[in-house]
Structure 1
Amino acid sequence: MASNDLEVYLTARTALITEERSIRRDFKELAKATEDELHADQIVRAIKLEEAKSIWAVDHPDTPNVFPGMAYLSARNLITKTKIFQIISKMPKGALLHSHLDAMVNASVMLKYALEEPALHIQVAAPLTKASLFSTLPAFRGLRPSEYSDAPSLTSSSYIPGTWVHIKRARDSFSTDLGGPEGFDAWVIGALTINPREAYETHNTVAKIWKKFQSTFDVVEGFTNFFPLKKKYIKDFLLSSIEDGISFVETRFTFFSEYLIDANGEDSVSHAEIFRTFGEIVQEVKDEMARQRRSDAFIGARIIYTTLRFVTCDELDWYLEDCIKLKQEFPDLVAGFDLVGSENDLKPIIYYIEPLLRFRSRVEELGLDLPFIFHAGETYGDGSEADNNLYDAILLGTKRIGHGFSLVKHPKLIEMCKEKGIALEVCPISNEILRLTSSVCTHPLASLINQGVPVALCSDDPSVFGNMGLSFDFFQVLMGSDINGLLTLRMLARQSLEHSTLADEEKAKAIVSWEKQWANFVKSITDGRIFEV
């Protein structure tokens, strides 16, 4: 080959790569970058490259198939040892826009809170043995004092299945053959979480892993329906989010019963009381941040009212009307409405189209700012009912789309999302563990970003997946691409605030506050303070 031919080819190759990358969204972020940001980005890229060799390109006997952006649950212990994670854990992340309130507190912390409650009891439906322990789910409930049981143990030979035992007594008396109190903890936490073996071996289809996933909510319901525990839970969720650099939260609260259980075991806590208490806790946290002179660290939190995709249309009418009443009473706390549950197995949006259209008309008549914020396209299907939810979500005027995993297959819908400013709430770790993708490296996120679809990075159900806060999701996105850098993360964090339900004036203040935090974060990278304890 003539040297001239090689030069011509290499010149054309460089020009093509440059041209193609120049139209990527992340390249456009370079034009907005300050000198400090460019310097910090170079530092992060250098560390990323060094750790690709020192951590992700070496053998780890306990962790097979290691590579950057690998399956999260297998990689988690390695992730926490990296300098990149240390940097990201201190990053101001903007808003968390997609989270389910029943899955937002570390399972071990939840259990600790539960053990403090005198009314909380536990039962099992069958005798516990070594063989049956981890396939037998515990059930929890706050009981009336008249219902308290003297049953001494879950694991004694005299235990009658279905009998309630106080949770602390059940733990203290847990059979030594089953591990004693530590064995009790491992059993309960195992019922509330998904472990690597379940995610990558035994539950190796979408249907199987969703069955396990749903079972964690069946178990945690006994905790989160007990209002004294719920109050501790909400505050812990907000404080832990703040410590991870999250300054605003919109969380989905699933309403399926008319009342939660109070401290006396009575079904008495109304939906209005839930919202009132939520608002009080939000204010408590704001006041706490003010006392610490960290007011900018927390803007506030709101609830996306949700119910389940298996209710009837008549039942949905009741929930929709309840949502409207709560919006009228708590205008600053109700962010929107959604339907939740497995899109692959439960009712599609079109099934509920009549009550949803009535709701939309009623909201318009009342002049309420109460948008739909639908889950849609959380599937690898193409033309399936779950995939078709995307059409209905957009036609109904959804403000954002939860997941939108299959959107990448729909060029017209992508254009509509861009035109209408409909952001995707993308949850990469959740999508990977629930078997929509094998790793973040094969996730459609990069394609969606580079086609100009607005994206907010989210954690979904971190108490189940172990990705508390947002640091792990940001880490996976950074490591899952050789091109992604600090400026990609900046874009995602800023977009989360831009596409929140905050009013324009609140949003502008939130972004100004975030920009100040971001500038300080960038400076801490360039001057090395980021690694100080």
Structure 2
Amino acid sequence: MSSHSVESYLAARTALISEERSIRRDFRELQFATEEELQADQIVRSIKLEEAKTVWAADHPDIPNVFPGMAYLSARNLITKTKIFELISKMPKGALLHSHLDAMVSASVVLKYALEEPAIHVKIPNRLTKASLASTPPAFRGLKPSEYSDEVCLTSNLYNPGTWVQIKRARENFSDQLGGPEGFDAWVIDSLTILPGEAYEKYDSMSKIWEKFQNTFNIIGGFTRFYPLKKKYFKEFLLSSIEDGISFVETRLVFFRGYLVDADGEESVGYSELLTAFRKIIQEVKDEMANQGRPDAFFGCRIIYTTLRFVSCEELDWYIDDCIKLKQEFPDLIAGFDLVGSENDLKPLIYYIEPLLRCKSRVEELGLDLPFIFHAGETFGDGSEADNNLYDAILLGTKRIGHGFSLIKHPKLIQMCKERGIALEVCPISNEILRLTSSVCNHPLASMINQDVPVALCSDDPSVFGNMGLSFDFFQVLMGSDLNGLLTLRMLARQSLEHSTLSNIEKEKALASWGKQWAIFVRSVVDGSIFA
């Protein structure tokens, strides 16, 4: 008789699976879970299994290749109808650590704000027709009264391309053949977002989708560099984040040498004035939450000072000096420094090594808490310049890594991230739409969790991708793996606060506040009131 019995084989198999999964941090945390959390986790897993049949295995003739964790833009309408999404939308999510401020308020809200501002005008480079509408981007700007024109319509045969038209007038007089005012709204909103057909068909390469992506920022800049709108925009960003269960935010703001445009169309508002306004708005929102009896709902917001990867080394010296001055003036508001833009097309970190090393030395001499928080490895390259940014980010002492998509190929760097507590700001929906991966199921996030690399889940540019808040990203992560459950989401939410730039005392308070909200949430899952 052979000694290789089925029973002994199955016992060895069970032991191996258990040992391998014990490496995952979320599985190790099972020992710290309360009975109520374990109950809630099982409820969530049961709903996942049920919706795998009723939603994701059902026939959807208009949606190609349906499966849990599928391409986000194709799945979005299905996602919003699920019980899992309803549940996640009410979950306390901790901190949002990777976001770009100019892409944090939905395009429809931004347009609504713009229509309230008489100074904001729009122009186009050529006449609009049904054939040219989709390929003709609008440009926006706040003008001085002396620059106003008598033009009232973008779509008239008499319109002179390049002439500014007051935005409300342009909307009211938009051609009926192009949809009238509603057609104007759709045209503007589409220019600020990436649509499913664009992401999965029209822009069929990384360079093409990045061009569309960058164009959305070029267009919205006409709105967000208008100071009166910027203040409304910032408050809306904070309030909408809170409503999605986000209690602390670190957002990246691109700084320029110029000034923002004031209500009279003058370029007169400096960044010191802007940050003073931001600080006041943050306090207003805190006070509003306290007055509503929800003091735990919002713990604050900080700004990561960013500039673009195409500046020269001399220009970077200027921006670093500006960042240090603003850090000294707003120590509670400036969180760190970063360089942004396509890593595959623009300059690598090593190009800037001299000014970056000078920055490190100066920050240390001044005793400032001003870490680098670098984008790095937002690429599927292996040994490319963009991939090599990971080496420089870590050697330069980055506090966190934005994206870190290619980190999975670097065992030594993974080890260093674990030893140094360098968290990844992982943005799964962004990575999928910008063609780094075909779905969250193929995303290296699962490998990072399996190897115990700290991770903060982030949304990146939700107004462009339509993943407002963090609920959609949490949904995709939950559905993209059979192993991920409610305790995985708990771990990701808590790690986001643990790896924020808050001081240790502030972190303790934020984690305690989040813990209270989490306990209430778990109870509502167990007693079913979350679906009431």
If the length of structure 1 is used for normalisation, what is the TM-score? 0.99
Cα distance in 2 for partners of 1:71, 1:205 equals 16
Which residue is equivalent to 2:514?
514
Instruction: In structure 2, give the amino acid aligned to 1:117.
Output: E
Within 5 Å, give how 1:387-398 maps onto structure 2: 387-398=387-398
Within 5 Å, give how 1:392-471 maps onto structure 2: 392-471=392-471
Deviation string 1:241-265 (CA, Å, 9 cap, x unpaired) is 0000000000000012421100000
1:249 is paired with a residue whose SS is strand
Which residue is equivalent to 1:152?
152
Within 5 Å, give how 1:296-335 maps onto structure 2: 296-335=296-335
Which residue is equivalent to 2:264?
264
Cα distance in 2 for partners of 1:302, 1:17 equals 42
Instruction: In structure 1, give the amino acid aligned to 2:527.
Output: D
Which residue is equivalent to 2:206?
206
Which residue is equivalent to 1:245?
245
Which residue is equivalent to 1:99?
99
Cα distance in 2 for partners of 1:459, 1:257 equals 28
Which residue is equivalent to 2:87?
87
Instruction: In structure 2, give the amino acid aligned to 1:313.
Output: C
Q: Is 1:10 aligned with 2:10?
A: yes
Which residue is equivalent to 1:495?
495
Q: Is the 8 A contact 1:85 1:471 kept in 2?
A: yes
Q: Is 1:357 aligned with 2:373?
A: no
Instruction: In structure 1, give the amino acid aligned to 2:231.
Output: K
Cα distance in 2 for partners of 1:131, 1:27 equals 54
Moved more, 318-327 or 248-257: 248-257
1:122 is paired with a residue whose SS is strand
Shift of 1:2: 7.6
Deviation string 1:383-416 (CA, Å, 9 cap, x unpaired) is 0000000000000000000000000100000011
Which residue is equivalent to 1:121?
121
Which residue is equivalent to 1:504?
504
1:84 is paired with a residue whose SS is helix
Within 5 Å, give how 1:358-397 maps onto structure 2: 358-397=358-397
Which residue is equivalent to 1:77?
77
Q: Is the 8 A contact 1:305 1:335 kept in 2?
A: yes
Instruction: In structure 2, give the amino acid aligned to 1:442.
Output: N
Shift of 1:337: 0.3
Instruction: In structure 2, give the amino acid aligned to 1:175.
Output: S
1:31 is paired with a residue whose SS is helix
Shift of 1:239: 0.1
2:5 is paired with a residue whose SS is helix
Instruction: In structure 1, give the amino acid aligned to 2:417.
Output: C
Cα distance in 1 for partners of 2:517, 2:450 equals 26
Which residue is equivalent to 1:293?
293
Which residue is equivalent to 2:142?
142
Instruction: In structure 2, give the amino acid aligned to 1:148.
Output: Y
Which residue is equivalent to 1:64?
64
Classify 1:286/1:2 alpha carbon distance in 2 versus 1 (closer, same or farther; 3 Å).
same
1:159 is paired with a residue whose SS is coil
Q: Is the 8 A contact 2:227 2:269 kept in 1?
A: yes
Which residue is equivalent to 1:274?
274
Cα distance in 2 for partners of 1:372, 1:286 equals 27
Cα distance in 2 for partners of 1:256, 1:200 equals 33
Which residue is equivalent to 2:130?
130
Identity of aligned residues (%): 79
Q: Is the 8 A contact 2:102 2:221 kept in 1?
A: yes
Classify 1:2/1:62 alpha carbon distance in 2 versus 1 (closer, same or farther; 3 Å).
farther
Deviation string 1:421-443 (CA, Å, 9 cap, x unpaired) is 00000000000000000000000
1:230 is paired with a residue whose SS is helix
Shift of 1:104: 0.1
Shift of 1:307: 0.5
Q: Is 1:41 aligned with 2:38?
A: no
Cα distance in 2 for partners of 1:122, 1:466 equals 24
Shift of 1:26: 2.1
Deviation string 1:194-241 (CA, Å, 9 cap, x unpaired) is 000011111111111101100100110100011111001000000000
Mark the runs of 5 or more structure 2 residues left unpaired by the alignment. Answer: none
Q: Is the 8 A contact 1:103 1:464 kept in 2?
A: yes
Shift of 1:16: 1.7
Instruction: In structure 1, give the amino acid aligned to 2:481.
Output: S
Q: Is 1:195 aligned with 2:195?
A: yes
Instruction: In structure 2, give the amino acid aligned to 1:156.
Output: S
Cα distance in 2 for partners of 1:4, 1:398 equals 52
Cα distance in 1 for partners of 2:256, 2:136 equals 24
Cα distance in 1 for partners of 2:346, 2:233 equals 28
Shift of 1:3: 11
Q: Is the 8 A contact 2:102 2:224 kept in 1?
A: yes
Deviation string 1:335-383 (CA, Å, 9 cap, x unpaired) is 0000000000000001011111111100000000000000000000000
Q: Is the 8 A contact 2:23 2:452 kept in 1?
A: no
Shift of 1:53: 0.5
Q: Is the 8 A contact 1:256 1:308 kept in 2?
A: no
Classify 1:257/1:173 alpha carbon distance in 2 versus 1 (closer, same or farther; 3 Å).
farther
Shift of 1:63: 1.4
Which residue is equivalent to 1:339?
339
Instruction: In structure 2, give the amino acid aligned to 1:116.
Output: E
Instruction: In structure 2, give the amino acid aligned to 1:523.
Output: R
Moved more, 1-10 or 241-250: 1-10
